[in-house]
Amino acid sequence: MTNLNLKLFFIFLFANIWIWKILHFNFFIFTAVLAATFFIYKSVKEKKINKIFIISMLILIAFQFATTKTIPLVQLGDQEKLYQIQRLKEYPPVYIKIFNKNLWIPTANWFENKPWLLSIYRIKNNVSDALSLNLYFFSNHPNERVGFKEFEKFPYILLPFFVIGFLNFDYKKEKKIFFLSFAIPIFLIGLIGQSNPIGPFVLFPFIFLSILSGVKYVYEKIKVSKVLNERIVVGLFIVCYLLVFVQTIIYATL
Amino acid sequence: MQHFKIKRNWVSVLILTLLGVIGFIIFFVKLESVPKGFYVDEALHGYNAYSILQTGKDEYGKFLPIVFRMYGSYNAPLYIYLTTLPIKIWGLNPYAVRIVASLSGFLSIFVFYFFLKNLKISLVGSLFFAVTPWLVFQSRVGYEVSLAFFLFCAGSLFLWLSLKKSIYLIPSAVFLSFSLYAAYTERFIIPPLILFFFVIFRKKILKKENYKNIIISFAILFLTQIPNLMIVFTPAFFPKSDLMSSSAILSQAEKINIFPKLVAFVLSFLREFLSQYVNYFSPRSLFLSNDLDMPEMTPFYVWMVVPYLIGVVYLWKKRKEDYSKFILLVLLLSPIPAALTKDPLSTHRAMPVVFPISLIIAFGINEVMVFLNKFKPKLLVKSLFVILFLFISLSFFWRSYFVLFINEKARDFSFGFEELSQLIRKDSETHYIVEDQRIKIPYIELAFFMKIDPLIYQKNIDQTIKYNYYSNTKFDPYHQFENVETRGIIWEKDIYKNQILVGDELSISSKQAKEHFLTKVFEIDDPIHRPIFIGYKTNPGLKCASTPNKSVYCNK
């Protein structure tokens, strides 16, 4: 984790569609994403949280909030209101008998009509796509959403590296980085929703960092392997990466 | 140490008792009426079991089939054969058809308990496993997946135990082999599971002193698979190939035609397969999205996403340990068959995934329990945690399953056939046509609820089917027994006969009813008052009298 190669950093940073979509959408967000990504990498490398990383993450959080079309957590749409009315009628009467007296429990009201519970349902729905691996690596296939223009944020060949990087992350030592780059953004998305033309870009630095550390981990394993030839494996990987990258670009432009 | 052992035993007994009580309530209570309705697959399994019980033959008159022919496909046989016993005891009704599934789900929770006990981690995980929505939902429906799941779990448990005592290979072989007769998914999982198990744990298992048990278990596997081997080259062995996402792959391959065809195909296959495969591990699909048939319910409870992530990280850190290797092996293999199909998240086909995912969650819960040890009094804090999360989980399960599901999804579960069958039975002098274009495979539901004598039923079926049973996949939806026919309505003909036409609100519109002088004689609604079946009585006399150009059927 500490000897991440700067070359790898820049190659993978620009060899994905997401970063170019962000640039196309807004130059300032692009700059903030680059800064946050570089300084998260630096913070992990130096095992010390960098101030610019904190500032750039806060700016990214603000940008995410500003560019997302938010829906109030307890406001129901017309269809949802109809559902609510229907569902309130579906509950059976629930009561407990205490000393020959019935203590009625308003379960329908509790489950269907409490604003705090409605907001929890909404937060759950908001968070769901942000925690979908398919959103980042398969343009959300097979869970495509109505009204969203999905695109492949990273080539799917990077998925195993992301998983390895995510699992290797030192959550105890780097918990501040984890909270700032993953937990807080997820919480924010839960509150404001997903309706953003370039997706949850506030998570870009963390996802990118995980991919990069996964690549580094696998590369080091190959280097010390007695069975695998480093040059052949790297060459094969580059060929596969290019093929998949071209494939994702074609799908994105169709 | 002794004190610890006694305490641990006391806790084990308490959890085992709780498992029994919670399991009994959640798997068996109101089984006859919840789910409301009786799903078409349940009716197929139930009526075929009834037919086997009465005549030794299935609905097509085939004597003790190896797989069961069902509307153009084939289903694994074990569930049907086992269901003959409850039908013998309780008669032909939904409870008798569902009991094998719910009993399998109930037994699975004890298999899970013993797995956790063997892994020496907190047994609390088994309590949460017992109330897992995915498991409970599939275990209360009378078809094969829950049975296959139980056999798969039990076989996996013994396979794991065989690393310590090779004698366990024998029960493992029995359970795993029988799981291949319970559901098709297992056919794609068990062979690679056994193969990779022997490869990964070769140093531990391939020892001279184990050879005897290895040979016996492989002999059991081979002998018990002879029936399957007999049909391996027939269409009946791989009946679900049409479910594979081949058309999606080909259309995706066409889009990247700058590559040679083979490269384009491989790339689009990889993308399609991996996207489906990854979906089975994604927190979104497992914990946050309502992909189960239950309204507002996720396959696992939302809060379980936290122990899941903790458990995954924990197992990865311990990846050199045998238990991690074993769980990761099961985890990586179990979604493969479901990922090969085009459905986004098939909880039916991907049922084996529940086992390794639940084990991961149990490891996460164990870590939480270790963390809670910091707070005193330990027992009280941990008990409060368990009670609170069990209460939250069960409350939301009750809301989704026992309130919303039974009302909103009754229609999808073929609600209304019991009432329709009673109406038809009562009115035995009238001929009924039940429309089958919009109503899903009505013949088997009617045969089930009308308790049609299998001998009479088999006589009305194409008699040639039983002779090329395993290769004849053509399905004829037309069925006729007693005073019922199931087929599409032939408007030029059916309205000139005195009979009752049964359809839903779209198969016979009010305009058609008016035009053809049909009189509405009954309507069967679902629990939230949406019409499911509407019966119209024809009036040939009036129809003929009012039509200037008389139909040829007016004179008949």
| B36, B277, B278: best to mutate for the A interface, most A CBs within 10 A | B278
Nearest to A134 among B278, B404, B407 (CB): B278
Say if A91 is an interface residue toward chain B (CB within 8 Å).
yes
Q: Which of B117, B132, B153 is closest to B366 using CA atoms?
A: B117
Confidence of residue B195 (pLDDT cuts 50, 70, 90): very high
Per-residue model confidence as pLDDT tens digits over B300-359: 999 999 999 999 999 999 999 999 999 999 999 999 999 998 888 889 999 999 999 999
Nearest to B283 among A131, A156, A246 (CB): A131
Using the predicted structure, report yes or no on whether residue A200 has a pLDDT greater than 70.
Answer: yes
Angstrom distance (rounded) from CA B157 to CA B178: 15
Residue of B nearest to A93 (CA): B403
Tell me the C-alpha to C-alpha distance, in Å, between residue B525 and each of B200, B254, B384, B530. Answer: 56, 47, 44, 5
Q: Which residues of B touch A168 (CB under 8 A)?
A: 316
Are A18 and A245 within 8 A, CB to CB? no
Least confident of B1-15, B27-41, B393-407: B1-15
Q: Which residues of A touch B296 (CB under 8 A)?
A: 121
Are B84 and B328 within 8 A, CB to CB? no
Contacts 24+ apart (CB under 8 A), B253-257: B255/A250, B255/A251, B255/A254, B256/A246, B256/A247, B256/A250, B256/A251
The alpha-carbon gap from B532 to the nearest alpha carbon of chain A, in Å, equals 18
Q: Which of A246, A161, A170 is closest to A211 using CA atoms?
A: A161
Q: Which residues of B touch A243 (CB under 8 A)?
A: 259, 263, 267
Angstrom distance (rounded) from CA A222 to CA B232: 41
Query: Is B276–A142 a contact, with Cβ atoms under 8 angstroms apart?
Result: yes
Say if A246 is an interface residue toward chain B (CB within 8 Å).
yes
**HSE-CB of A11 using CA atoms within 13 angstroms:** 14
Query: Is B256–A156 a contact, with Cβ atoms under 8 angstroms apart?
Result: no
The alpha-carbon gap from A139 to the nearest alpha carbon of chain B, in Å, equals 9
ipTM over 0.90: yes
Residue of B nearest to A144 (CA): B344
Confidence of residue B528 (pLDDT cuts 50, 70, 90): very high
Angstrom distance (rounded) from CA B44 to CA B447: 9
Question: Looking at residue B7, what is its pLDDT?
Answer: 60
Per-residue model confidence as pLDDT tens digits over B113-129: 999 999 999 999 999 99
Per-residue model confidence as pLDDT tens digits over B371-394: 999 998 999 999 999 999 999 999
Around Cβ B342, how many Cβ atoms within 10 Å?
A: 16
Question: Looking at residue B1, what is its pLDDT?
Answer: 42
- Asked if omega into B337 is within 30° of 0 (cis), the reply is no
Kindly report the backbone phi and psi dihedral angles of residue A95, in degrees, each rounded to the nearest multiple of 5, phi listed first. -150, 160
Nearest to B528 among A86, A244, A247 (CB): A86
Kindly report the backbone phi and psi dihedral angles of residue B520, in degrees, each rounded to the nearest multiple of 5, phi listed first. -70, 125
Nearest to A129 among B272, B284, B317 (CB): B284
Per-residue model confidence as pLDDT tens digits over A115-147: 988 899 999 999 998 999 999 999 998 988 888
Q: What is the mean pLDDT of residues B474-491?
A: 92
| B274, B302, B343: best to mutate for the A interface, most A CBs within 10 A | B274
Nearest to B282 among A133, A171, A244 (CB): A133
Query: Is B274–A138 a contact, with Cβ atoms under 8 angstroms apart?
Result: yes
Residue A219 identity (one-letter amino acid): Y
Angstrom distance (rounded) from CA B45 to CA B27: 19
Q: What is the mean pLDDT of residues A75-88?
A: 90
Q: Is B221 left (phi over 0), alpha (psi -120 to 50) or beta?
A: alpha
What is the pLDDT of chain A when averaged over all its residues?
Answer: 92
Q: Which residues of B touch A127 (CB under 8 A)?
A: 288
